[in-house]
Chains A and B, each alone.
Chain A
C-alpha cells in the first residue's frame, strides 16, 4: 500500500522559546529548527511498514515555508521515497493544513496517512482528526501500536485510563503517540542519497486550497513566572514547612 506521512518543521524541542517584546508571537529568529518529534515517529512507522513489506511507497509531505525542505530531506534520508512541499506561510492553522493535506490525499490516493498526534509548537492536536473528517476516513489517534489485520488496520490507542484497540477500515488516518516506536538516525550515506530523491514543490493555489482561518491570534504573552523557592536541609524541615508554612498536608 501507499503511505503518506505529514511532517512539520518546528522549533527544536530542547529550545526554551522567548516571547517577543511586542507580544506578536515567539521569537524564532536564529533558533534551532527540527522535525516535530511526533512526525519523526510517523516517518519511522511508515519505514517499518515498508520493511515489513506492508507499505510499497512512502510519500512525505510538508506544508510550510521553503526551509521545510530540510525536514523533508531528513524524512527522505530516513527512508521515505519522495517528498512534496506545499509552499505556504508559517503558522497556518490546523484546518488549513488539513485542507492542503486533503488535496494531496486526493491526488496521491494513499491507503494510510500517518501524522504526529500534535506539533510541539502550536500544541493543537487537531490536524489528523480534521484530515480524517475531510476525507471521510476512519481515524486511529494517539497510536502506540499499528497492525494490519486482513483488510483492517488494528490501532492500539493511548487513552486516559490505559489502552484501547480499534479496528479501522482502510484507507485510514493514524496519528502517532510517543510510544509507537523509537525513530532511527539517518546515516551519512542515506543523507547523501536523499539529496537525489524527488522533491516536488506545489502552491496551495495549484491545489485549489484556501488557507483562510476562523481563528486570529491577538497576542502572545509569557506565562506568569514561577520563581525558585527555598532549599530545605532535611526531611523534617520539609514536613514542617509543608504543614505550617504552605499548609498543604
Chain B
C-alpha cells in the first residue's frame, strides 16, 4: 500500500496543511509519497523531503502547474494515481478544487473532509454542517480523499530524508488561464493553524470596530476570524470567515465576540478546545457551546480584556 499526498504550498514553502495530511496518511499506513506540483518548486520539494515519515517526494515542475489550475494538475494526478492505493490532499480550496476532478477521471467517488481513519478503506466525516458524523467505506481501487486538517495533529516538518524524484509529465489542457490574484496581507498567524482565534460577528457594528479585536489578538498572538454576517456586511474580507462555508478551525482557545452562534458558524469552530463567548444577548445560541460566557457589551469587555491579559 502506497499513499500519494498532494502537497499544498505557497510562496515557495510547504503549507502547514500538508503536515496534517501526511499525519492522516500515516494513520492509514504504508509508504507515503508527496507530490509537489507547480512552477519553480525545487525549494518546496527539498522541504517536503524533510517531513517526518515521507518516503519519496515527486516533483512536477512546469509552467502548466503554476497556480494549481485543476484542468492541468488533475491529468497529472490521474497519470500518477494508478500506482497508488490512496490519493490524499488537504481540504483547502486547492484540494477541494482539484481532487474531485481527479476522482471523476478515475471513475471513483471521493470522500471529502475526513476527520478520522477507521481502517485503510473506512473513514469518518462530518455531514449536515457537522451535526452528524458519517462513517464511509470505499471500495474504489484508488481511494481519493480530502483531509480536514483540524482532525489530525501535524507531523514534524523536520527529521525525514526522502528521496526526490522528478516527474517529467507535462499536461497543459489549454482550457484555462490564471489572470491575477488579490491576497489579503496579515502579520498575524494563519487562521486555520493559530492556537488562539478571536472572532467578531455582526455585533461589531462596523469594520473600524474590528481594531478592538486586532489589538486583543496581537496581545494574545492570535488570528482574527469572523462570522458570515460580519463578512457580508463588508466589515472584513471573506478569507477571514469561519464556518461551514468558510474555514474550519480548532484552536486551543476560540473567543467569539458579538457572534450569535448560527449552525453554520458552529460548524467551523465547535471542535475548539475552549470556547469563550462575549455577547450582550444572554439568549444567544453561542452560550450553549461556550465553556465561558460573559454577558456584556463587547465595546467595554474587549478593551478591558485586552488590558488584563
Taking beta carbons and an 8 Å cutoff, which residues of A are in contact with B? 11, 13-14, 16-17, 19, 26, 93-95, 98, 117-118, 120-134, 136-142, 144, 154, 157-169, 177-179, 213-223, 226, 228-232, 234-236, 238-239, 241-242, 246, 248-249
Q: Given contacts A26-B128, A217-B136, A231-B295, is CB(A124)–CB(B112) below 8 Å?
A: yes
Cα A169 to Cα B107 with chains together (Å): 24
Looking at the assembled complex, report how far the CB atom of B39 sits from the nearest CB atom of chain A, in whole angstroms.
15
CB distance B276 to A166 under 8 Å?
Answer: no
Asked whether any CB of chain A lies closer than 8 Å to the CB of B228, the reply is yes
Are A229 and B238 in contact, CB atoms less than 8 angstroms apart? Answer: no
> Do the beta carbons of A241 and B292 come within 8 Å of each other?
yes
B126 within 8 A of A: yes
Q: Which B residues are CB-close (under 8 A) to A16?
A: 131, 263
**Once the chains bind, are A120 and B109 in contact (CB under 8 Å)?**
no
The interface residues of chain B lying within 8 Å CB-to-CB of A11 are 128
Are the C-beta atoms of B239 and A231 separated by less than 8 Å?
no
Q: Which one of B10, B108, B128, B137 has the greatest number of beta carbons of chain A within 10 Å?
A: B128
Asked whether A133 and B176 contact (CB < 8 A) given A214-B139, A220-B134, the answer is no
A-B contact count (CB 8 A): 258
Q: Is the CB of B140 within 8 A of A167?
A: no
Contact of B112 with A120 in the complex, beta carbons under 8 Å: no
Interface residue ranges of B150-205 to A (CB < 8 Å): 173-184, 192, 196
Q: Does B92 contact A (CB under 8 A)?
A: yes
A242's partner among B70, B184, B253 (CB-CB below 8 A) is B253
- Give the chain B neighbours of A214 by CB distance below 8 A: 108-109, 138-140
Pair A138/B96 contact, Cβ less than 8 Å: no
Q: What are the residues of chain B within 8 A of A127 when measuring CB–CB?
A: 100
How near does chain B come to A139, taking the closest CB pair, in angstroms?
Answer: 6
Point out the residue from B96, B128, B173, B291 that lies within 8 Å of A120, measured CB to CB.
B128
A238 and B132 contacting across the interface, CB-CB below 8 Å: no
Known contacts A213-B109, A215-B138, A164 near B181 by CB under 8 Å: yes
**A94 vs B99: C-alpha distance when bound (angstroms):** 13
Contact of A118 (CB < 8 Å), options: B70, B173, B184, B245: B245
B96 touches A141 (CB 8 A): yes
Q: Are B135 and A219 in contact (CB under 8 A)?
A: yes
Closest chain A CB from B86 CB (angstroms)? 13
- In the complex the two chains form, is B137's CB within 8 Å of A216's CB? yes
Question: A159-B94, A235-B305 known; 18 other A-B pairs, CB under 8 Å?
Answer: A120-B128, A138-B176, A139-B71, A140-B176, A141-B70, A162-B237, A165-B181, A166-B178, A167-B176, A178-B245, A218-B136, A221-B132, A229-B292, A230-B292, A231-B282, A246-B291, A248-B273, A249-B196
CA distance A142 to B97 in the complex (A): 9
Q: In the bound complex, do residue B180 and residue A133 qualify as a contact, i.e. CB atoms below 8 Å apart?
A: no
Number of interface residues of B (CB under 8 A): 91
- In the complex, the answer to whether B176 meets A169 with C-beta atoms within 8 Å is yes
Q: When the two chains form their complex, are residues B111 and A179 in contact, meaning their CB atoms are under 8 A apart?
A: no
Within 8 A of A (CB), among B90-130: 92-94, 96-105, 107-113, 122, 126-130
**Complexed CA–CA distance, A98 and B273 (Å):** 38
A124, B128: Cα distance in complex, Å: 10
Whether B220 is near chain A, meaning CB under 8 Å from some CB there, is yes
Please measure, in the bound complex, the distance between the C-alpha atom of A123 and the C-alpha atom of B110, giving whole angstroms. 12
> In this assembly, does B294 line the interface, its C-beta being within 8 Å of a C-beta of chain A?
yes
Q: Decide if A158 touches B135 in the complex (CB within 8 Å).
A: no
Instruction: Decide: A246 near B71, CB < 8 A? Known: A17-B132, A216-B139, A220-B127.
Output: no
Cβ-defined partner of B109 (8 Å) among A17, A19, A93, A169:
A93
- Judge whether A133 and B104 touch: CB under 8 Å: yes
A95 to B178, CA, bound (A): 27
| Contact present for A248 and B137 (CB under 8 Å) | no
User: B67 within 8 Å of A by Cβ?
Assistant: yes
- In chain A, what residue has the closest Cβ to B99? A129
Q: Contacts A130-B103, A228-B288, A242-B276 given: A166-B69 contact, CB under 8 Å?
A: yes
